[in-house]
Amino acid sequence: MTSTGSHVTAPPSNKGGAAPRHQNSDGANTARNAKRRSRLYRWDMKYSPYGFIAPFFLFFLAFGLFPLLYTGYASLHQVELTAPTDMNWVGLRNYSRLLEDDFFWNALKVTLILGIMSTVPQLLMALGLAHLLNYRLRGSTFFRVAMLTPYATSVAAATLVFAMLFGRDYGMINWFLGFFGVDHIDWAAGTWSSRIGVSVIVIWRWTGYNTLIYLAAMQAIPKDLYESAAIDGASRWKQFLHVTIPSLRPTILFTVVVSSIGAMQLFGEPLLFNPGGGANGGAEHQFQTIGLYLYEQGWTNQHLGRGAAIAWVMFILLVVIGLLSTLISRRLAKTH
């Protein structure tokens, strides 16, 4: 309010010499001032919100939309990393060739497998942990903060540590398994062992994040639901199944969508998990995700156009996931 006040008083004080006139047309002036004030107020209400969100959209325009469209433009060309500005029009060839590109289909399959292997256990564990944290616990703040620490570490740091743990000759996991007579496992070389390795990193990083989201949603469930369930003789497990889970449905959908998008873009973990450091995802391409294949085409093989087409396919798949989730959440809302 004070700021609007100063706006209104400002003009008269600027024109200090107009004092006599001010006396004469006092009534008219106040009316005009009031009118102006209400107009400013209306503008403020109407346009200020746009001003406040503008920075986000400006940044989105520069670092989100523009690159997106430019990538789309590049994907219709043959472009090489050695000369990114020389573009040769090739139409949809970069897309059509993906249909017969075994490496692309492999990457798609791997992305799906890794997505399931990392998302399902992660969300189940998060649900269980959130349930436990929802009890009255000593030092609950400590546990909640601790849950979030993996999320706060960088992908690179976490992956490098895990790559060491999963090391063939000197890794801690093989050392530990050695006590049970298990021979050294070449984690990164094996088809499934490497996928387990990558999934473990993802699970480790994201379980805590989803736990806190579930916990927040659980705390919003009215206590009387549990009380009446308890009066009806429901055990804690039954309460979890029949009160907690149904109330969490929208939250679960949200985490599933967010995790699927994350899984689709999986990149840093499989890149750094590879002891060779390459983007091929192991000798058999057994953990080469779409993100990695995109990077391999664009930067290792230096074909930016081909990489851009893969990026756009990835984008379209993400849009499909988004549409599916909207459909499902609408149906959920209806059945509620």
Partner 1 sequence: MRSYRTTRRAAAIAVTAALAAGLLAGCASDDGDDSAKDTGGDSSGKTTLNVGLFGVFGYQEAGLYAEYEKLHPNIKIKQTTVERNENYYPALLTHLSAGSGLSDIQGIEIANIAEITSTQADKFMDLSKVEGASKDNFFPWKAAQGSTKDGKLIGLGTDIGPMALCYRKDLFEAAGLPTDRDKVAELWKGDWKKWVDAGNQYKAKAPKGTAWTDGAAGVFNAAISSSATRYVDDSGNYIYKDNPDVRAAFDLAADAAANGLTAKTGEPFTEPWNQAIANGKFATISCPAWMLGTLKDKGGDKAKGKWDIAVPPKGGNWGGSFLGVPEAGKNKEEAAKLAAWLTAPEQQAKLFAKQGSFPSSPQAAAMPEIKTAKNDYFPEVPYGEIFSATAADIPVQVIGAKDQTVQENFVRSGLLLVEQGKQDKDGAWDAAIKAIDNALDQ
Whether the Cβ atoms of residue 224 and residue 317 lie closer than 8 Å to each other: no
Q: Is 276 in the site for partner 1 (CB under 8 A)?
A: yes
Could you say which of 112, 120, 186, 329 contacts partner 1 (CB under 8 A)?
A: 186
Give the C-alpha separation, 119 to 117, whole Å.
6
Q: Is 278 in the site for partner 1 (CB under 8 A)?
A: yes
Subset of 57-86 contacting partner 1 (CB under 8 A):
78, 80-85
- Number of residues this chain uses to bind partner 1 (CB under 8 A): 42
Q: Is 150 in the site for partner 1 (CB under 8 A)?
A: no
Could you say which of 29, 68, 95, 103 contacts partner 1 (CB under 8 A)?
A: 103
Could you say which of 174, 251, 260, 280 contacts partner 1 (CB under 8 A)?
A: 280
Could you say which of 23, 99, 277, 336 contacts partner 1 (CB under 8 A)?
A: 277
Question: Per-residue x/- marks for partner 1, 218-257, CB under 8 A?
Answer: ----------------------------------------
Q: What residues line the site for partner 1 (CB under 8 A)?
A: 78, 80-85, 101-103, 141-142, 145, 149, 152-154, 157, 163-164, 167-170, 186, 189, 275-278, 280, 283-285, 296, 299-303, 305-306
